[in-house]
Structure 1
Amino acid sequence: MRKLKNEELDRLDIEGFKNANKTPVVVVLDNIRSLNNIGSVFRTSDAFLIEKIYLCGITATPPNKDINKTALGATESVAWEYKESTLDVIQNLNAEGYTSLAIEQAENATMLQDFKVKPNEKYVLIFGNEVKGVSQEVVNICTGVLEIPQFGTKHSLNISVSAGIVIWDVWSKIKVKKNPT
């Protein structure tokens, strides 16, 4: 088995990405402190053709060398916008018909493996601060809460790891719904 070279991967260029049909998912970062985490979420969002990222509250914005270090150019391909209030962003997206899902540990949360996508549904995935998580006021207005099951001694995963797991899981479920075998 031979590893493929980058030029063999047939990836989109930035213009191709911007014109591609996007996955009906918006990512919202609620007060993320780490610039490396922000960059990693951009890179994951690029990999799965995410519609847009909202950077809210204290979340830093591109251009920034520490974001770029992990984003590897994804800040140029993925649409993004800064908004002061995560609450306002979620209220607006809810009004536009999105299903808003906080990624959090909460009462009556749906375990990620049990989450089922609905045909023609648009989703918002909200990831919270590294210490405090998604703010309670944002959780209160979300359509639901998704939880990544964990079985070890730690109470949480790094936000970039959580984003990678959840975005891939939701993307794969959307793709299966669109292309059942």
Structure 2
Amino acid sequence: MRRGYEDLERDNPYLVLPRRLARMREVLARRQKDLVLFLDRVKNEHNFSALIRTAEAVGLQEIWYGFEEPYEAPINVGVTLGAHRWVFLRKTEDPRATLEDFRNRGFQVVVTWLGAGTRDFREVDYTRPTVIVVGNEVEGVSPELLPLATHRIMIPMVGMVRSLNVSVATAVILYEAFRQREAAGLYERPQLSSSEIEAILRKWAYEDVLRQRRKK
């Protein structure tokens, strides 16, 4: 007789192999809770999905995204290759209030910008609690968010074309943050508490697995 899901839950709090569970714990031990990516009206699903994949690769735990319209996250699973399953996507309908909240919690707000008053992205100290804000593919970051910026940054370029695709530019910035944080040893000590890690493992290694099994 086939065992029910209730039997599985009673006998095992996780539904993955020990090696898989160990890998999850290893990843969570390096998650950077105080490095956050904020996507302001990024609508192209390839860009949005590539951003998720890069952010997960450098250990981000949260990605926020904001739209004025009732858009849902434009995820292309062929681009994320599953990375969207391992981060927490947070939607806000009031980006300004969300960024103000981050500032009130001690985060610096680092905004990509091609206008006046910018600095080289490598000059910023990303070992501090940081929200990196990137904007729409055509219009960039919303003007109303610029006054909240602790730093406005740009990537130096010497070619005829003076801008990069948003997913490429963000990858460059995220890997500078990764470089600085790794050099400072921030990936060597967990930022998530034991209870936070166990709660996430419950989702990844039990609830999500169970949900997938029920779809079959």
In structure 2, distance between residues paired with 1:125 and 1:177: 19
Partner of 2:45: 35
Shift of the alpha carbon at 1:170?
Answer: 1.1
TM-score (norm 2): 0.69
Which of 108, 114, 139 aligns to 1:105? It is: 114
Partner of 1:51: 61
Aligned length: 165
Partner of 2:191: none
Question: What SS does structure 1 have at the residue aligned with 2:184?
Answer: helix
More helix by share: 2
Shift of the alpha carbon at 1:144?
Answer: 1.1
Partner of 2:198: none
Would you say 1:90 and 2:99 are equivalent positions? yes
Shift of the alpha carbon at 1:13?
Answer: 7.6
In structure 2, distance between residues paired with 1:126 and 1:160: 12
Would you say 1:129 and 2:124 are equivalent positions? no
Q: Which runs of 5+ in 1 are unaligned?
A: 1-9
Question: Aligned letter for 1:29?
Answer: L
Shift of the alpha carbon at 1:16?
Answer: 3.2
Which of 143, 154, 166 aligns to 2:161? It is: 154
1:49-101 C-alpha deviation (Å, 9 max, x unpaired): 01210011156416x4xx21211101100111111122122111111111110
In structure 2, distance between residues paired with 1:178 and 1:160: 26
Q: What fraction of aligned residue pairs are identical, expressed as a percent?
A: 22
Contact 1:101 1:146 in 2 (8 A): yes
Question: What SS does structure 2 have at the residue aligned with 1:178?
Answer: coil
Shift of the alpha carbon at 1:116?
Answer: 3.2
In structure 1, distance between residues paired with 2:150 and 2:23: 33
In structure 1, distance between residues paired with 2:117 and 2:46: 31
TM-score (norm 1): 0.81
Contact 1:56 1:86 in 2 (8 A): yes
Which of 78, 82, 88 aligns to 1:79? It is: 88
Shift of the alpha carbon at 1:103?
Answer: 1.2
Shift of the alpha carbon at 1:11?
Answer: 9.4
In structure 1, distance between residues paired with 2:159 and 2:95: 31
More strand by share: 1
RMSD: 2.4
